[in-house]
A = this chain, B = another copy of it.
Amino acid sequence: MPTINRKELTLEINALREAHPDHWQKACAIRVLTLDAVAAANSGHSGMPMGMADVATVLFGKHLKFDAANPDWPDRDRFVLSAGHGSMLLYSLLYLTDSPDMTLEQVKNFRQLGSITAGHPEYGHAKGIETTTGPLGQGIANSVGFAIAEEHLRATWGDDLVNHYTYVIAGDGCLMEGVSQEAIALAGQQQLSKLIVFWDDNGITIDGPVGIADRTDQQGRFAACGWHVQSIDGHDPDAIDRAIEQAKADGRPSMIACKTHIGLGSPAQDTSKAHGALTDAQLIADTRAVYGWEHGPFEIPGEIKAAWEEIGARGAAARADWESRLAAQEGDRRSDFERAQSGKLPGTLAGALADYRAKLIADKPKVATRKASEMALEIINPIVTETIGGSADLTGSNNTRTSEMSDFTANNRAGRYIRYGVREHGMAAAMNGLALHGGVRPYGGTFLCFTDYARPSMRLSALMGVPVVYVMTHDSIGLGEDGPTHQPVEHVAMLRATPNMLVFRPADVVETAEAWEIALEQTGTPSVLALSRQNLPTVRTDNGRENLTAKGAYILAEAEAKRQAILLATGSEVSLALEARDMLEAAGIGTRVVSVPCMELFEAQPEAYRKKVLPNSGVRVAIEAGVRQGWDRWLLGERARANKADFVGMTGFGASAPAEELYEHFGITAEATVAKVKALL
Contacts and interface: CB of A to CB of B under 8 A. Distances in A.
B207 A136 contact: no
Given A43-B480, A654-B483, A654-B487, A185 B207 contact: no
Interface string A614-638: 0000011111111111111101110
A648 B407 CA distance: 42
A452 interface: yes
Interface in A580-634: 580, 583-584, 587, 589, 591, 619-633
B621 A673 contact: yes
Contacts of A497: 490, 493-494, 497, 627, 629-630
A204 to B, nearest CB: 11
A485 B499 contact: no
Which residue among A487, A658, A670 has the maximum number of chain B CB atoms within 10 Å of its CB? A670
A649 B623 contact: yes
A394 B134 CA distance: 14
B224 A480 contact: no
A677 B396 contact: no
Contacts of A423: 176-178, 213
A431 B653 CA distance: 30
Given A135-B485, A484-B122, A649 B628 contact: yes
A491 B506 CA distance: 25
A182 B178 contact: yes
Contacts of A449: 135
A543 interface: no
B463 A485 contact: yes
Contact of A580 (B450, B644, B670): B670
A625 B650 contact: yes
Interface in A535-586: 564-565, 567, 573, 576-577, 579-580, 583-584
B217 A132 contact: no
A422 B567 contact: no
Contacts of A656: 480-484
Interface stretch (A294-302, A353-361, A660-668): A660-668
Given A422-B136, A481-B656, A662-B480, A206 B646 contact: no
Contact-size category for A: 35 or more
A478 B669 CA distance: 12
Given A218-B224, A624-B648, 10 more contacts: A120-B482, A173-B393, A176-B182, A181-B181, A207-B396, A213-B393, A452-B459, A477-B666, A482-B656, A497-B629
A419 interface: yes
B481 A658 contact: yes
A452 B676 CA distance: 32
Contacts of A564: 681
A576 B644 contact: no
- Per DSSP, are chain A's interface residues mostly helix, strand or loop, or mixed? mixed
21 contacts: A134-B483, A135-B449, A135-B452, A177-B422, A177-B423, A178-B179, A181-B181, A213-B419, A220-B224, A481-B657, A483-B654, A490-B497, A565-B677, A567-B677, A576-B668, A619-B645, A621-B645, A621-B680, A624-B648, A624-B649, A628-B647
A629 B633 contact: yes
B172 A484 contact: no
A169 interface: no
A119 interface: yes
Given A622-B649, A668-B576, A483 B120 contact: yes
A141 to B, nearest CB: 9
Contacts of A182: 176-178
Contacts of A663: 477-478, 576, 625
A103 interface: no
Contacts of A463: 484-485
Interface string A465-481: 00000000000111111
B172 A422 contact: yes
B185 A216 contact: yes
A636 B626 contact: no
Contacts of A622: 645-649
B132 A677 contact: no
A623 B668 contact: yes
A60 interface: no
A159 to B, nearest CB: 25
A308 B546 CA distance: 66
A476 B653 CA distance: 10
Contact of A653 (B118, B484, B625, B633): B484
The 10 closest A-B pairs by CB, nearest first: A178-B178, A483-B656, A213-B421, A220-B224, A487-B654, A181-B181, A632-B632, A635-B645, A134-B485, A619-B680
Contact of A494 (B394, B425, B494, B623): B494
A328 interface: no
A591 B677 contact: yes
A282 interface: no
Contacts of A626: 649-650
B391 A207 contact: yes
Contact of A181 (B180, B460, B653): B180
Most chain B C-beta atoms within 10 Å of own C-beta, residue among A179, A181, A479, A646 = A181
A406 interface: no
A317 interface: no
A224 B185 CA distance: 14
A651 interface: yes
A203 interface: no
A674 B581 CA distance: 8
A607 B620 CA distance: 22
Interface in A447-467: 449-450, 452-453, 455-456, 459-460, 463
B619 A644 contact: yes
Nearest to A420: B213
Contacts of A367: none
A478 B662 contact: yes
Contact of A576 (B459, B496, B669): B669
A629 B493 contact: yes
A10 interface: no
A58 B205 CA distance: 43
